[in-house]
Amino acid sequence: MPLGERSPGDKGESRYCGVESEFDGDVPRLLSFNISCGGFDFVVSPLMNPTYRPSLFEKEGNESSVLPFAGSDLILNPSQWSSHVVGKISSWIDLDSEDEILRLDSETTLKQEIAWASHLSLQACLLPTPRQASCANYARCINQILQGLTNMQLWLRIPLFKAEDDSMGTSTDDMTDSWELWNSFRLLCEHRSQLSIALDVSSTLPSANSLVRWFGEPVKAAILNTECFLTNARGYPCLSKRHQKLITGFFNHSVQIVISGKPLHKVLKGSADPATMDNGDNVGCVQNHSLRPYLEYVGYLYQRLDPLPEQERFELGYRDFLQSPLQPLMDNLEAQTYETFEKDTVKYTQYQRAISQALIDRVPDEKASVITTVLMVVGAGRGPLVRASLQAAEETGRKLKVYAVEKNPNAVVTLHSLVKLEGWENSVTIVSCDMRHWVAPQKADILVSELLGSFGDNELSPECLDGAQRFLKQDGLSIPSSYTSFIQPVTTSKLYNDVKSHKDLVHFETAYVVKLHSVARLAPTQPVFTFTHPEDSPQRNNQRYKKLQFEIPSDMGSALVHGFAGYFDATLYKDIHLGIEPSVATPNMFSWFPIFFPLRTPVCVHPGSPLEVHFWRCVGSMKVWYEWCVTSPSPSAVHNSNGRSYWVGL
């Protein structure tokens, strides 16, 4: 029974748990024992008899006969092969061996087994760990095979370890960071999207920072050896707190668990009562399968997962899905887009708080009945900020005259209906015009806008508010009063491969809005561009340039930077802010996802070697665009030169 049927919520593929087995020519019996009796969802099993070697096989005459390495595909139906079997490539193969016969045997066997697995319609095959750090021939053969695969994934078995000394050795036993082995292999395989990782988890885990890297890599399975398990007071297997945290992280990233190894705990008769379990206890055991207690414990950890909050459930479909940012001046938003943003009550609550505080500061209590504050909502949309402004006036007992300025004629129709429906005719004036061109009949005390994008200024808030501030009083104020963009380097194989799949330059030079999930954040964020409103400087210029240096934590080890995650934080008024910068993000707000700036060629960064990044905000007569590049540890091309691939139209 899948783990996901024992707990509310769906964590994707991680609701399935497999078991690693030895070769068994009787596959139906193997499945019956491990799935029916053991309760596992699939088996990771060799497809070929381990005694088979091509060089020992004698051909009859000059013709090849049927190879004796596997039984019939008819022993299971196609759906059973696909759902319940992950092929395990023979562990003896060594494609980088100095022994030519072994190397040739290995290459022949690898291709035969993967061809057979593909014939069986298996979803995945487990590749053995490279035997040497120098694994060029192994990677070459896999790269050849991947070019012909369509639906099957190849999981490269990688041991999870990192020692204090990061120097590379000459064999996997001498290596101090298994991520280096993986990175070398995937670079040789040209970042193929069908090449994934099966992490061999050991009883000793590397540092937390080192583990973070793997959540941005294509980890499909975590092989949990029985040696990882401790024994609790009742004799059941359990895991250390660090292992529990790691496994929980895998669940949340759709990583499947595979139990491997010999049983080190006795199978107790009877069934434990979950109600009597302490933290770390097993949920029960059965007599039939010696590895069942380990499965039960993994199931117990799955059951303990907190249900996804409503916001996370809403955002599930957007995880790691690349979207082009809005073009707010060139395009008019559709009703569905307005409706989505209007549901973000947290955002408008923050705005209402800011407007309330501003009204109180500008109009003392004793003059509240005689002074009317002029407030202009520029970019009013369908009216949520108009509503927030009027509610703030009612809350504070201040008199308010509101101008709702909106360029989208379709939204203006809705605004007129809203004003009539709510009875706002005496307090709200609707203006159908681009704020940059409107001739206001009077000056405003407060200018309110929600023109911010995921990167703060990427939806042209600076240009729009510069055009609107001419009808703001000398002592008038803007809400928001300022906003700052932030970036951080990230590992995200998923997004990189999605961009790469388009096979063109344009997509690598486009900034995307994306709900980041399968991502490793490699360093804390740093501020990039800041804009303040109103801007009174006669030399004001919205072009910007920033050079940044990021330091990868020394205990993380090396990492591959696929691009940069971008965020913003905005000060609405005084200490009232909203934003998505991770360290101060406004809770439960969903109007903005982060932005992602990809790199055409990922950059490998080693501890102690700073990552130097350059970002430009460029402004032309008809468009605004960003350019970005890396200059250290190795230089990249300047991305999006002259806005050739991505820009925002003025």
Q: Please, what are the domains in the chain?
A: 3-307 (3.20.20.150), 335-450 (3.40.50.150), 482-649 (2.70.160.11)
Quickly state the pLDDT bin for 172 (edges 50, 70, 90): very low
**Angstrom distance (rounded) from CA 211 to CA 222:** 13
The pLDDT-based confidence of 1 (bands split at 50, 70, 90) is: low
Instruction: Report yes or no: 404 and 374 within 8 Å, Cβ to Cβ.
Output: no
Assign 3-state DSSP to the chain and report helix, strand, coil percentages, each to 5: 30, 25, 40
pLDDT at 65: 46
Q: What's the rounded Cα separation, in Å, for the pair 510 and 502?
A: 12
Render pLDDT for 420-465 as a digit per residue (tens, 0 to 9). 999 999 999 999 999 989 999 999 999 999 999 999 999 999 999 9
Q: Convert the pLDDT of each residue in 226-254 to its tens digit.
A: 999 999 988 889 999 999 999 999 999 99
Q: State residue 68's pLDDT score.
A: 47
3-class SS of residue 48: coil
Neighbours of 327 (CB within 10 A): 14
pLDDT, position 277: 34
Q: How many CA atoms lie within 13 A of 271 on its CB side?
A: 6
Residue 274 has pLDDT above 60, yes or no: no
What is the SS3 string spanning 145-201? HHHHCCCCEEEEEEECCECCCCCCCCCCCCCCEHHHHHHHHHHHCCCCCCEEEEEEE
Average pLDDT, integer, range 32-53: 90
CA–centroid distance for 51 within its chain: 43
Catalytic residues: 450, 459
Residue located via tokens 């004793």: 366
**How wide is the angle at C-alpha 615 spanned by C-alphas 613 and 621, nearest 5°?**
165
How far is residue 610's CA from residue 628's CA, in Å, rounded to a whole number? 17
* Average pLDDT of the segment spanning 484-504: 97
- Rg of the chain over all Cα atoms, to the nearest angstrom: 30
Neighbouring CB atoms inside 10 A of 260's CB total 20
Tell how far CA 323 is from the center of its chain. 13
pLDDT at 567 over 90: yes
Burial-class residue 145 by CB neighbours within 10 Å (0-12, 13-18, 19+): buried
- What is the structure's pLDDT at 627? 98
3-class DSSP assignment, residue 313: helix
The confidence score (pLDDT) of residue 50 equals 83
Q: 184-243, pLDDT tens digit by residue?
A: 999 999 999 999 999 999 999 999 999 999 999 999 999 999 999 999 988 889 999 999
3-state secondary structure of 125: strand
Q: What pLDDT does residue 280 have?
A: 39
* Residue 314 CA: distances (Å) to CA of 10, 237, 421, 588, 589: 13, 36, 30, 11, 12
Q: Taking the alpha carbons of 209, 212, 216, 218 in that order, is the dihedral positive or negative?
A: positive
